[in-house]
Amino acid sequence: MAIWFREYRLEELDKIGKGNMVSHLGIEFVEIGEDLLKARMPVDGRTRQPFGILHGGASVVLAETIGSYAANMVADYPNKIFVGQEINANHIRPVRSGSVTGTARPLHIGSTSQVWEIRICDDQERLVCISRITMALARSINQKGKG
């Protein structure tokens, strides 16, 4: 049984990212599994740092994007909205070209907080970055529409 609050489509997730940092960096969602969410990001001029390798900040943007989407997909969005409270990342190996794919899986799903692990791999499926994000409940609207 899937962990998601309802059924989602990849096109629906990509539409949410239009006109903001998600689309600017070329992030696209590629898989919604029973307990995972995957997105891909190109390694190009938008995401490289001056030394020609994937910018660590771009990896963190990818990780936070996937973790944030996933956290809200298990909640009753938009009645409950989860936002990032803390994120960390360890950069394991450099990437110069191609793309990277991040996979988010939950470590904890609570009523007011969630913790997600995001593993980012290169096109050869080698670990590039490991990240963990803590999501906090920012807003909850009860049945009568009051927060």
Residue 66 confidence (pLDDT)? 98
pLDDT tens string for the chain (147 positions)? 799 999 999 999 999 999 999 999 999 999 999 999 999 999 999 999 999 999 999 999 999 999 999 999 999 888 999 999 999 999 999 999 999 999 999 999 999 999 999 999 999 999 999 999 999 999 887 644 444
Helices (H), the chain: 10-16, 21-24, 56-74
CATH of the domain at 46: 3.10.129.10
Which position among 11, 64, 117, 125 bears the catalytic label? 64
- pLDDT, position 1: 75
Q: 112 in a domain, yes or no?
A: yes
pLDDT at residue 144 in the model: 47
CB of 54 closer than 8 Å to CB of 128: yes
Domain housing 107: 10-140
Give me the pLDDT at residue 119, please.
Answer: 99
The rounded distance, in Å, linking the Cα atoms of 38 and 22 is 14
Q: Is residue 145 part of a domain?
A: no
pLDDT of residue 50: 97
pTM over 0.75? The answer is: yes
**Residue 90 belongs to a domain:** yes
Q: How many domains does the chain have?
A: 1
pLDDT of residue 142: 60
Residue 5 inside a domain? The answer is no
**115 class by beta-carbon count within 10 Å (0-12 exposed, 13-18 middle, 19+ buried):** middle
Catalytic annotation on 125? no
Residue 87 lies in a domain: yes
- Give domain status of residue 120, yes or no: yes
Establish if 136 belongs to a structural domain: yes
Q: Percentages helix, strand, coil for the chain, rounded to the nearest 5?
A: 20, 40, 40
Paired tokens of 15? 């539409």
